[in-house]
Structure 1
Amino acid sequence: MSSAVSTGFKKMNWVSKPSAWEAMETARLKRREMMEEFQASSAALVSGFQAAQTMQIQGVGELAAQGVQARMDAKVKEMQDKLEDRYASLSKLV
């Protein structure tokens, strides 16, 4: 009966259990892969945050520049109006 049982295991293609060293090595390799994946995703996350921060800084800079430009345009318009008024008053004298 024992020979039939051992023959039955062979027919089912059962594989032997890995040794303790092989199990530890497999676990170590799996941890290494997980750590590399984590580092890669962390690097991608950091890169994304840096890009977002750069875009935000550029956006704030553009808004500040637009505000300055608007104030400069208003000041130039005001100065042009004053000069036109002065020219109009001088042309009446001539």
Structure 2
Amino acid sequence: MKKGFTLIELIIALAVIALVIFGLISAFRGFTYRSELNSQSQSIIETLRQASSRTLASESAQSFGVHFEINRYVLFYPGPNYNPSDPNNQIFN
């Protein structure tokens, strides 16, 4: 009786290993995307809280706001209206 593996057994073993590796890569990629999404959402929440607390603590009745664009958001003041050329704007990407 010969010892060793047939070609079919090797192909099946390699296919199983490839599927396991593909599954691990997919799971890791999903974890990375979720982590980035959580990080960005926490950053946006913190900016909204910062605008709220700055407005409530303002002694000169200035208001702060947050302006959202496609790939960034801006914490702006003074006043309720967003001015893109205001040097006081804090831009977050």
Give the unaligned 5+ runs of structure 1: 1-9, 77-94
Equivalent residues in 2 for 1:23-62, closer than 5 Å: 23-62=10-49
RMSD: 1.9
Which structure has greater helix proportion?
A: 1
Partner of residue 51 from structure 2, selected from 51, 56, 64? 64
Q: Which runs of 4+ in 1 moved over 3 A?
A: none
TM-score by length of 2: 0.59
TM-score (norm 1): 0.59
Of the two, which has the highest radius of gyration? Answer: 1
Counterpart of 1:45, as a letter, is: T
Q: Secondary structure at the match of 1:17?
A: coil
Q: Distance in 2 between matches of 1:21 and 1:53?
A: 48
Higher strand share: 2
Tell me: higher relative CO, structure 1 or 2? Use CA pairs within 8 A at least 6 residues apart: 2
**Alignment partners' CA distance in 2, 1:42 and 1:16:** 40
